[in-house]
Structure formats: C-alpha cells, structure tokens
Amino acid sequence: MKMTSSLTMIKKCHDKVQKNLDSDVYFMLKTPMGKRPLIRKLMPAIVVPVILAAMVLFMAAVAAHCEINEQPANVVNLNVVTLKDAIEAALRDNHRVRAGRWASEALKKDVNIAWGSLLPKLEFEESYANTNNPSYYFMSKLVQGRFASADMNNLKNPEPINNYRTNFKFEMPVFSLKAYIAIDMANVRAEGRELQQRRLEETTVLDVFKAYTAVKTAKAYKTAADKGLEDATEHMRLAKTRLDNSIGLHSDVLQAQTALSEARMRFVSAEKNLNLARLSLGLMMGADQLFDSAEENIDFTPAAPEEYLKGAMGRADVAAMEKNHENAQQSVQMAKAEYLPSIGIGGNYQMNEHRYPLGDEGKSYYFGVFMKLNVFDGFRRESQLAKARLEAAEAGEHLSGMKQQAAYEVYEALMTLDESQKRLALTQDALSAALEGVRLIEKRYASSLAPMVSLIDAQTALDKVRADAAAAQGQYFISAALLEYTGGRILDFFGVNNSGRK
C-alpha cells in the first residue's frame, strides 16, 4: 500500500518536472538587484534520474528503519548445539580440562628430572685471584708451571701474584638404588595423574550432560509456564464474560486477575532460568555465549548391575588411587635404599694462567672413583623408614575405602534411576488427571456449578504437575548418566574416544 502511493508520487513529480522543462522554465535566484537566472534550462536526462534516485534511496532508508524497529527487543541469537558437539567442545575448550592437561604434562617432566640424576654432570668454572699469601703464592706458581728455585727466597714476603683458574669438572653415579627407585616413582606419579585427568574428563562430560539437560528442562518449564499463562488468560476472559452477562461475580474477576498475574510471574522466572541454563551450558563448553539444546532424543538402555560394579572397580579414580598406593610402597624401598652405598666416578681438568683468563700456562687433571655410605645420621633413616611404612598403610586404607565407596555409588545410582523412572510414570499419570480435572471444573464454572476458587485451585495444581513432569523427565536422564559415570562407562556411553580428547 505504502509502496504504491510512493510510486504514484514519483510519477507525478516526474510529469511536473518534464512539463516545466518543456515550457522553457528557468530556475531563478532572488537578489537585491532583482531576479536573476540561476541555471539555464536543465537537461531532462540529468534532472529526472537524480530526482528518481534520491526518492528511491529515501524510501529504502525508511523501509530499513521500519524493519529494524519491527524486530522484538528481546531477540537473542542462539547457537543451537547437539549433545555430541557440546561434549567435544567441552573436552577441547573447558578451562578446567585444559588446566588438568597442563598439570599432567608438567608432571611428566619429573621423569626427565629423575633420569637426570643418573647422567653425567659437567661444570665449567673460571675464577681470578690476587694474593701475597705465602701459601697461595707457592701454590699459584706451582700450578702455573712457573715455580723456580729463586721463588723459595720470596716465600717469606712474596710479591702479589695473579692467577686465572679455568676448571672443567664432571661427576657421574655408577650405582645408586635411590635414583632407580625415584625414576620408577616418577613414572607411576605421571601415570596416576593421567588417570586423574581421565576422571576429570568423565566428570566434565557428566557436567555437560547435566547442563544440556538443564536447558531442555528449562525449556519444558517455560512451555508449562506458557500453557499456564494461556489457561489463566482464558479463565480471566471467562470470568469477565460472565460478569458482563450479569451471571458472574466481580470477586471472580479479581481472583482470575490475581491468578493471571502469578502466571505471568512464573513465565518471567521461566524465561530467566532458561537463559541462565543456556549460559551455563556455554560456560561448561569454555565459551561465554548462550547455547541452546538441539531437538534430539536421548536413548538409554541400562546394562546389568554386575557390569556397573565391574566398571566401578576399574574406574579411573580408583586406578589412580592404586597408583598412589604403589608409590607409597615404593617409598618404603626408597627409605631402605638409604642403608646401601652409592658409587660414582668424577674428575676435573684445570688450567692456570697469571696473565689472562682461559690461559693454559699450567695444566693438570684429576680422575677418581668414590663411594658414599651413610654410617650414622642420628636415626634419620630409621624414622624415614617407619614413616614410609605408615604412609603405605594409610594409602592401602584409602584404596580399600574408595573401592567400597565406588560400589556404594553404583547401588545408589541404580536405586536413584529406578526411583526417577517411577516418578516419571507417576507424574505423567498425575498430569493426565490434572488436565481432566481442569477441563471438568471449567465446564462446571461456566454452568455456575463451581466457584472460581475451585477453578484456580485446579489450575494451580495443573501448573505444579506440569513443572513436576518437566523436572522428572530431566532427572531421569541425569540419573541414567550418573549411573554410567559411577560405573566408569560414561565416555563409552557418549561415544568419546581418545581422538575426541585432545
């Protein structure tokens, strides 16, 4: 309609300009000296296209402005993500998972550090000394290769002498049981940390699934709130219609208005909770954006309870505790190694010069084999050995307790899943009954056989059952995922392999 009117105006403007141009009209400029011709007759080929282009640009700008203003103010661009993509993004970008990977890589360096104690140690040293001490004077002359018989007369009151000493030193253990045990312990610690990282990834997958399910549950809550709002609006309309027809009460309208306001508040809260759930899902994925769940079905078929118990005993956190117990037992062997000697070789190559650094005026070397044995250290070894045995016993108790806890968690998850399944069926039955109850009371109220308060009570019960049904659906899926998590099977359940854990 608006576009047709605008085109008509453009056509009339074109005809008027063309008429003026054909009648030899001049554009005049009013000045103190009278009217003066400003522009001679304009060519139609120049004027008409310019006017048409200006009108078209103006209309396009107005149309764009209208389109922008017609968009709702609360429109949010959402990133729809599937559960598989959400899990992969979390294992790749979640900051807690990434920090755990850095920690694992850092702990692996302890293995290289432990191996370093068995490799040769090379040192270079350059030093300078100036002295007139007789002993150092004699020694400096001797190592520089410049000692002569005349220097014996100068020992009582020698002249100051310079000495630049260049020294290359090396040392290497040949036998050190403590070093070998330390390497084994470093490897076991690194393996244990890798297992902890795997358990952290399993926990992250569970948290992502919870956040993903929370989005679905929040959407169901919003749908229930929207339906409740529609029902409350209909009840308000019905109460007003009865009042207008002089067969209802004003108090019914007020009660319906109160119920409508409460329904609106529930809808506002449902919208807020949905946006928070979407933001929480993005947070688990390592992003600061809102992510919405895709429309997909989640299938779950539980395995036999024995499978979950077996998986719980080999769970990553249980295996990590076994590595910790193994290291505690190695600590006992480390303490016993203090009673054994350590054997090594060492030596140095030395150059001395009295004029400049790195000189080789005098050259010498040293090579030797050494053995170190701790004979007595104030009973420190005995105390370390006793402490290591106690810590090994402590680690064993922690391991046994963790295995019992893992078995208990499986039983708890199984019972929680059974409860969630039953609650889901009960809420579906309750929802059907509540819907039928509201329908019947609406008819009775329309026929003046039931008061408004009965209709509002029935609607309140229906809204609660709708919310309970949405919560029961989400809780069922979370219970299923929790069972897979306690059984150590959650990565396989969601199809996460090593390629997905980068």
Contact 480, 307 (CB under 8 A): no
Confidence category of residue 58, pLDDT binned at 50, 70, 90: low
pLDDT tens for 396-418 read 999 999 999 999 999 999 999 99
Residues of the chain with pLDDT > 70: what percent? Answer: 83
Q: Is a pLDDT exceeding 70 seen at residue 460? A: yes
pLDDT tens for 92-118 read 999 999 999 999 999 999 999 999 999
Section 4-21 average pLDDT: 49
Short-list 74, 490, 473, 478, CA closest to 268: 74
pLDDT tens for 190-229 read 999 999 999 999 999 999 999 999 999 999 999 999 998 9
Mean pLDDT of the chain: 85
Contact 206, 485 (CB under 8 A): yes
pLDDT at 2: 42
What's the pTM? 0.76
* CA 467 – CA 469 distance, rounded (Å): 5
Residue 122 sits at φ, ψ, to 5 deg, of -110, 135
Q: What is the DSSP letter of 447?
A: T
Q: If DSSP codes are grouped into helix, strand and coil, which group holds residue 450?
A: coil
Q: Is a pLDDT exceeding 90 seen at residue 6? A: no
pLDDT at 422: 94
- Domains for the chain: give ranges and CATH numbers: 2-70 (no CATH), 82-113+178-343+379-500 (1.20.1600.10)
Q: Is a pLDDT exceeding 70 seen at residue 40? A: no
